Amino acid sequence: MPEVASGEDTVPRHWETRSVAELADARLGLQLTPARSTGGTPYVRAANIVGRVLDISDVNTMDVSASELSTYELKAGDVLVAEASGSAELVGRSAVWQGEVSPCVFQNTVIRVRSSVMEPNFLHMMLEHHRLQGRLADEARGIGIQHLGLRKLRNLEIPVPPPAEQVDIVENLHARLDHLAQARERLNAALVATGLQEDEVLQLALTGELLAGATKSPWRKTTFGKAGELRSGLARSPKNSSGDFMVPYLRVANVYESRIDFDDLRLINLPPDRREAFTLRPGDILLTQGQSPELLGRPALFEGYDGDISFQNHILRYRCSELLDPRFALLVLRHYFRNGVFRDLARGTTNIAHFTLPAFSALPISLPEKDLQRSIADEAHTQLSVLAEERLAVQQSLAGLPGLEKDLYAMAATGNLAEPNEVGGTAASLLQEQEAARQLEQQAQSTARKPVTSRRNSRNERNAGEEDKPLADRLVEVLAGARGGFTMVELLPRLGLDKNSVEDVESLYVAIRSQPAGSIQAGGATENAPIEARPDAPA
């Protein structure tokens, strides 16, 4: 299939490429103001666009006039684009409106894209492809909240296949995305099953049932307080942030369940007289504090480090006595952690929880002879290692799914998910029909505006030749006498332009850009941003 470059993509030669402005009516929605807050018309905001679908479980309302409703009411097939987000990667996320609520309008945090030549799901697919490739993030600007802007979206180039081919591509893409979703469900189910198997191993280790004959040996009941010593770590303070005895220390961010991450270590001053009390030894068990209750008590075994290393006060260190093997103790503590025992001991807020040393010390533990503890720990380690490998393989597969999804969108956007299909017309004929329809619409709009122009000029004969002047000249004249400028909506009719016409709006932007740099200031890309002359601008 012959191909041609389109922007950063290579598309089939029988496709056409146009900007969004040429293919669709793209506009920002209504601004929510205090005066509108008491109305009852539902509206879609950026927060309703979740992923690639719409979540209308929480739709707000605003006051909308009848004339505004005629312009801003959503129709089935409209593509809604989130104009802003706190994350640049999520700017431009979009969804297709299916007529879920009627009537319904859209806020100015959303751009509505309505096209008569693009199959809505294909247009949505192309916008998502650009977003996944990072092109919308590259265009986004702002501090804190990132904005795409209406003008940048209108300038975005979209490849246009023949109508029947658009449908084929969307159907093939959705079929493959469904398979990907099924794979994600199976992988998530496998992850849950692995976790349940780990829970079972820990439970059987706790009672000795994991090892044949272990339950026949005598077991003694005791508490963690009697079987070892619990200590809190060093508090970070200005006085120990520097000094002559700096050593690395572990904090909550380094301690995971049954794993310690030694990356990104920080230093603390630990004088010789405190080093013995706060230096970790192989066999020490670390438990996290100061987290949300469900993460409280996450345990890991310290097995050594190249040099001295300490621990912060948001970590508790448990050091086993001669009665208790550290690896066996870790199995019991992991079981307690997964079953919410530490969560039940939590004290403090819902975000930062702790448990007391006495509460931990009272936790029960049953102990066989130490050699049997080691044997149970060995068997548990073997089984848990196999499950850990399975978990890692599943997690890696899950991590690869977004990349596969991105590749599918790229294949769809470059014509690699369907054979050429020009049944019902080519892309060129489709666009020719659109252009013919647009010209007829412009003629109708021009005819409808003439009486208004005539009445205006009859009131002021000095402006009789105004319509013959270039738009750029008329723009300068209108703005010159306006203190504080006009919004785009206010300015368009003063220039004899239609605010509901994409062509007229684009003509206004062209006229603004044709002026000397700095002579006209546009406050933003929204319809409510002020546009004003700057007579003091340098020539």
DSSP string, 385-417: HHHHHHHHHHHHHHHHHHHHHHHHHHHHHTT-S
- In this structure, the strands spanning 310-311 and 246-250 are parallel
Coil, strand, or helix at residue 98?
Answer: coil
> Are 295 and 338 spatial neighbours (Cβ–Cβ below 8 Å)?
no
Instruction: Report how far residue 280's alpha carbon sits from residue 278's, in angstroms, rounded to the nearest whole number.
Output: 6
Amino acid 457: pLDDT:
42
Q: What is the largest CA-CA distance in the chain?
A: 111
Report the distance separating Cα 539 and Cα 528, nearest Å. Answer: 28
pLDDT class of 232 with cuts at 50, 70, 90: very high
41 phi/psi in degrees, rounded to 5? -90, 125
Among 304, 311, 269, which residue's Cα sits nearest to residue 287?
311
Q: pTM score, two decimals?
A: 0.72
Determine the pLDDT at residue 403: 94
Q: In whole angstroms, how far apart are CA 98 and each of 79, 95, 104?
A: 9, 9, 11
CB 257 within 8 A of CB 299: yes
> Residue 539: is its pLDDT beyond 50?
no
Residue pLDDT, tens place only, 34-61: 888 888 999 999 999 998 899 999 999 9
Contact (CB, 8 A) for 28 and 114: no
Query: 367 is written with which tokens?
Result: 């102990």
Burial 145-163 (b: 16+ CB within 10 A, else e): ebbbbbbbbbebbbbbbbb
Strand partners, 90: none
Q: Model confidence over 75-114: pLDDT tens digits?
A: 999 999 998 888 878 888 999 999 999 999 999 999 999 9
| Residue-level pLDDT at 113 | 95
The identity of residue 422, as a single letter, is: E
CA 340/CA 147 separation, integer angstroms: 43
pLDDT at 455: 37
Higher-confidence position of 294 and 470: 294
Residue 174 is predicted with a pLDDT of: 95
Tell me how far apart the alpha carbons of residues 245 and 269 are, in angstroms, rounded to a whole number.
Answer: 5
Tell me the range of 139-143, 183-187, 454-458, 521-525 where mean pLDDT is highest: 183-187
Q: What is the mean pLDDT of residues 2-22?
A: 79
**pLDDT at position 349:** 60
pLDDT digits (tens, 9 = 90+) for 409-466: 999 999 998 888 878 777 788 788 777 776 776 676 666 555 544 333 433 433 434 4
Q: Kind and range of the H or E element at 124? A: helix 120-132
> Which pLDDT score, from 0 to 100, does residue 206 have?
94
Q: Please give the share of the chain, as a percent, with pLDDT higher than 90.
A: 56
Is 454 strand, coil or helix?
Answer: helix
Query: Higher-confidence residue: 115 or 539?
Result: 115
116 pLDDT band (50/70/90 cuts)?
A: confident
Pick the more confident residue, 432 or 180: 180
CA distances to 100, 213, 364, 367, 399 from 218, rounded to whole Å, are: 67, 11, 16, 8, 46
Q: Are 317 and 231 in contact (CB under 8 A)?
A: yes
Amino acid at residue number 297: G
Packing angle, helices 370-413 and 120-132, rounded to 10: 120
Structure tokens that stand for 434 in this block? 């659109």
pLDDT over 60 (residue 237): yes
d(CA 497, CA 475): 11
Please write the tens of the pLDDT for every residue from 321-372: 999 999 999 999 999 999 999 999 887 666 778 888 899 999 999 999 999 9
Higher-confidence position of 205 and 429: 205
185's torsion region: left (phi>0), alpha (psi -120 to 50) or beta?
Answer: alpha
282 has a pLDDT exceeding 60: yes
How much is the pLDDT for 473?
77
Query: pLDDT confidence of 392, banded at 50, 70, 90?
Result: very high
- 18-22, 86-90, 184-188, 319-323: lowest mean pLDDT where? 86-90
What percentage of the chain's residues is helix, strand, coil (to nearest 5)?
45, 20, 35
Of 7-21, 297-311, 367-381, which range is least confident? 7-21
What's residue 140's pLDDT?
78
> Which token pair is 107?
């806020």
- Phi-psi region at 327: left, alpha or beta (left = phi > 0; alpha = psi -120 to 50): alpha
Output DSSP code: residue 115. E
Laid out side by side, the sheet with 266-269 consists of 266-269, 246-250, 310-311
Residue 73, token pair as written in the block:
């009411």
- Tell me how far CA of residue 32 lies from CA of 146, 198, 393, in angstroms: 19, 52, 48
**236 has a pLDDT exceeding 90:** no
* Residue of 252, 228, 232 whose CA lies nearest to 326: 228
Q: Is the pLDDT of residue 219 over 60?
A: yes
Which residues lie closer than 8 Å to 284 by C-beta, 6 or more apart? 301, 302, 317, 318, 319, 326
pLDDT of residue 425: 76
- Can you tell me the distance from the alpha carbon of 331 to that of 155, in angstroms, rounded to the nearest whole number? 60
Of 161, 113, 114, 154, residue with least CA distance to 9 = 161
User: Does the pLDDT at position 181 exceed 60?
Assistant: yes
| Residues 115 and 23 sit within 8 Å (Cβ to Cβ) | yes
CA 7 centroid distance within chain: 25
